[in-house]
């Protein structure tokens, strides 16, 4: 448990400290935006992998019985989460997390102005139901809560940072996915980052379902779903 708590603390600090006023700007000013984003992404992935590895070493404590239908949460929601995560990182988005340089908001913002955070929400939520044990609830439940809390925090920072530009952006986007489209405030479209995200998502999903997930985590999602 100690290793898991240390990994969790390191992951949370990595995402909390740079978000404090002035710290992110100073870091980018010192090393440059490209270097900062690359280093931040690599360290985030390393810490996330450490958290998962530490969680898998915890004692297995079942909380509810497993059933084949529960695996469909993962099969359906995980690709959606991966697509939102990738499209969000690759698209310009002044309102939320993005690795792209400043520019016109990407097409993914028509779906939601916080695609990366919603990607984590879908991914983490999709792994809670089918696992049904304490270590999975701790790992994915904490990540789910972290992503959900990050949405209103990102809203406040974006509203303050964008100032007079905020009303126009918020009018053509929505926090909850597809609300702005359903309300007729914007329309669904596809741009290059979204298209690339779709292709990568399809490739990664195919690899995970044909042995990749077993190799990484020792579990076959299709077998758990009864296929």
Q: What is the pLDDT of residue 26?
A: 82
| Helix (H) or strand (E) segment spanning residue 88 | helix 71-90
The rounded percent of the chain whose pLDDT value lies above 70 is 97
- The answer to whether residues 56 and 217 touch, using CB atoms and an 8 Å cutoff, is yes
Q: Mean pLDDT, to the nearest integer, of 156-181?
A: 92
The predicted-structure confidence for 33-54, as pLDDT tens digits, reads as follows 778 878 888 888 899 889 988 9
Q: What is the pLDDT of residue 226?
A: 81
Comparing 6-15, 124-133, 144-153, which segment has the lowest mean pLDDT?
6-15
181-189's contacts with Cβ under 8 Å and 24+ in sequence apart are 181/110, 181/111, 186/110, 187/110, 188/107, 188/110, 188/111, 189/107, 189/110
Higher pLDDT, residue 92 or 217:
92
- The answer to whether residues 181 and 107 touch, using CB atoms and an 8 Å cutoff, is no
Q: What is the pLDDT of residue 115?
A: 97
Q: What is the pLDDT of residue 101?
A: 67
- Tell me: pLDDT of 93 over 90: yes
Residue 187 is classified by DSSP as -
Burial level of 150, CB count in 10 A (0-12/13-18/19+)?
Answer: buried
Q: What is the pLDDT of residue 98?
A: 87
Q: What is the pLDDT of residue 186?
A: 95
- Tell me: pLDDT of 221 over 70: yes
1-9's contacts with Cβ under 8 Å and 24+ in sequence apart are 1/58, 3/54, 3/57, 4/51, 4/54, 4/55, 4/57, 4/58, 4/135, 4/138, 4/139, 6/54, 7/47, 7/50, 7/51, 7/53, 7/54, 8/51, 8/142
Q: What is the pLDDT of residue 20?
A: 67
Tokens of 170: 């918020």
Residue 147: what are its φ and ψ, rounded to 5°? Answer: -65, -40
- The answer to whether residues 203 and 209 touch, using CB atoms and an 8 Å cutoff, is no
Higher pLDDT, residue 223 or 118:
118
Q: pTM to 2 decimals?
A: 0.90
* Mean of all residue pLDDT scores within the chain: 90
Domain boundaries, the chain: 1-58, 62-224
- Tell me: pLDDT of 22 over 80: no
Q: What is the pLDDT of residue 185?
A: 94
CA–CA distances in Å: residue 121 to residues 30, 124, 175: 32, 5, 13
- Tell me: pLDDT of 19 over 70: no
Confidence of residue 201 (pLDDT cuts 50, 70, 90): very high
């Amino acid at each position: 448990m100690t290793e898991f708590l240390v990994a969790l603390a390191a992951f949370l600090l990595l995402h909390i400290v740079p978000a404090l006023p002035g710290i992110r700007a100073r870091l980018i000013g010192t090393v440059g935006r490209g270097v900062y984003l690359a280093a931040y992404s690599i360290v985030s992935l390393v810490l996330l992998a450490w958290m998962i590895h530490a969680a898998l070493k915890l004692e297995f404590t079942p909380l509810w019985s497993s059933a084949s239908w529960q695996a469909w949460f993962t099969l359906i929601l995980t690709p959606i989460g991966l697509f939102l995560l990738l499209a969000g990182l690759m698209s310009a988005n002044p309102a939320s997390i993005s690795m792209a340089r400043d520019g016109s908001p990407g097409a993914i913002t028509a779906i939601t102005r916080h695609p990366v955070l919603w990607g984590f929400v879908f991914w983490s939520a999709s792994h809670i139901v089918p696992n049904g044990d304490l270590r999975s609830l701790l790992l994915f439940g904490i990540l789910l809560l972290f992503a959900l809390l990050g949405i209103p925090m990102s809203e406040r920072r974006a509203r303050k940072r964008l100032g007079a530009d905020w009303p126009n952006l918020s009018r053509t986007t929505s926090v909850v996915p597809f609300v702005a489209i359903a309300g007729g405030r914007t329309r669904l479209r596809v741009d290059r980052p979204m298209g690339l995200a779709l292709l990568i998502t399809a490739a990664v999903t195919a690899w995970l379902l044909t042995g990749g997930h077993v190799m990484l985590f020792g579990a076959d999602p299709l077998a758990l779903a009864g296929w």
